[in-house]
Structure 1
Amino acid sequence: MQWQDEAIIIGVKRHGETSVIAELMTRERGRHLGIVRSGRSRSMQPVLQPGNRVEVVWRARLDEHLGEFKLEPLQLRAAKLMETATAVYGVQAMGALLRLLPERDPHPHLFEALDIILDAMDDPSDAGELFVRFELAVLNDLGFGLDLSECAATGTRSDLVYVSPKSGRAVSRDAGAPYADRMLALPDFLGEGASRTADRDGMAAAFRLTGHFLSRHVYEPRGMTQSTARDGFVQAALKALSRAPDDKTPQGSGIIPPAA
């Protein structure tokens, strides 16, 4: 058995004296593990860093075997990802999100999103927005997508400011007013047709929103706890946004639409 694909490294662990087991997010075959012989060598260590994009060839006698990877570097961006706290935590947090998905289950849109977000990690505003949309996309692929397109009570598509913590559906200002203390806030930048990037308060609300549904539908039922890397990313992103100017114009924040 053999195949070739493009992939992003999301994790590495030692295997024997000189080898490693690499965990990759491939374009066509989802999250996939394989042995890299001599992966601890001086020449391979710079390649086997989370966030790097590689060309991979996988070989095994049978499809269900772990198999071996042969890797060629395409984009070595790990060094750049070490320059900011948002990037350091972000690459780890997205790797943890991808581990919630079944191994070898194709999610090509998540590969594309991961590749773009990693290139945007040096800008905390863009990184925060894209990370939240990545979480929404993962929730959607797990079968727990949020419906932020219309009010759950009235069907209206305007003035949506809340999200039901139970159903994950948007609620309009008037319909949700009697239950406002029990609702989650819907940040403006996640609404349909939004034209501005998030400020610090909006980003904090977005992190609370996705964190709530990840805990409710994924972590708690599996007996898991939320990734500590996510906590680090959230703190770093909010700290950076508190120092950012308020008049920043949007830059490519629509690569992952709000999950429906």
Structure 2
Amino acid sequence: MSNPPDAQPAYVLHSRAYRENSALVDFLTPQGRLRAVLRSARGKAGTLARPFVPLEAEFRGRSELKNVGRMEAAGVASWLVGDALFSGLYLNELLIRLLPAEDPHPGVFDHYAATLQALGAGRPLEPLLRSFEWRLLDDLGYGFALDTDINGDAVESDGLYRLLTDAGLERVWLVQPGLFNGTDLLAMAEADWSAPGALLAAKRLMRQALAVHLGGRPLVSRELFRKS
């Protein structure tokens, strides 16, 4: 039997109690981030309304606040523990904070699903997180080149660069805090995480790139990670 036209794959990003027996749930779907009311949240549907479970869901209503119709498991949940769990929560918080409501990003959805599987399989966390951050920024239109600067010149391995968050990388000639060396940037461009210093530099770069879009409010999941 074919799926209803409005049934779509989904993941729960966050859920909280709403009124007496309902939950207010943020979902990630290929059609974007949706917020919907889940009725009878203490029943069977409520057991599915948790992060990292692949779902098939039907959403009803034309306002920004939808209602969940049918919702079923559509695969095996990614089992995340320890730092992998905090990493998954970090991805969810990023999506809630950065993705506009009902703005389709099917590429982000597919990359998210693949990243959860990789986290569950125990793959190294830092390359997965940096890749996801980069893909999210790029899909939202905030990406920038790593191998060329704002003037279109090739990044040089012996050069120093700073990030202009609204433009890209600018070469500088005087040492100052927060700079990136060309060797690390070129390694990032090739996703060569075996290069010494590339992962640490990528973490700094992504923090700078994300900060302006997070509006100065700290990420709760990042604080949990620090305390773990």
Please name the residue that 1:6 is paired with. Answer: 9
Cα distance in 2 for residues equivalent to 1:18 and 1:140? 39
Please name the residue that 1:72 is paired with. Answer: 72
- 1:23-172 aligned at under 5 Å gives the runs 23-27=26-30, 29-41=31-43, 43-60=44-61, 63-64=62-63, 66-69=65-68, 70-77=70-77, 80-81=79-80, 83-85=81-83, 87-99=84-96, 100-122=98-120, 126-152=124-150, 155-156=153-154, 159=157, 162-166=160-164, 169-170=168-169
CA contact (8 A) 2:16 2:24 kept: yes
CA shift in 2, pair 1:155/1:124, >3 Å = farther
Q: Deviations over 1:26-77 (max 9, x none)?
A: 01x1000111121222x334311111110011122xx125232121001242
Instruction: Give the C-alpha shift of residue 187 in structure 1.
Output: 5.1
Instruction: Give the C-alpha shift of residue 122 in structure 1.
Output: 4.0
Instruction: Give the C-alpha shift of residue 152 in structure 1.
Output: 4.2
Instruction: Give the C-alpha shift of residue 156 in structure 1.
Output: 2.3
Percent identity, please. 21
Kindly indicate whether structure 1 or structure 2 has the higher relative contact order, using CA contacts under 8 Å at least 6 residues apart: 1
Cα distance in 2 for residues equivalent to 1:36 and 1:160? 55
CA shift in 2, pair 1:225/1:124, >3 Å = farther
SS in 2 for 1:44: helix
CA shift in 2, pair 1:235/1:137, >3 Å = farther
CA shift in 2, pair 1:204/1:34, >3 Å = same
Instruction: Give the C-alpha shift of residue 231 in structure 1.
Output: 4.5
Cα distance in 1 for residues equivalent to 2:227 and 2:118? 17
CA contact (8 A) 2:10 2:55 kept: yes
Gaps of 5+ in 2: none
CA RMSD for the aligned pairs?
2.9
Aligned pair partner of 2:221 in 199, 224, 229: 229
Instruction: Give the C-alpha shift of residue 153 in structure 1.
Output: 5.7
Aligned pair partner of 1:210 in 181, 206, 210: 206
Aligned residues: 219
CA shift in 2, pair 1:57/1:169, >3 Å = same
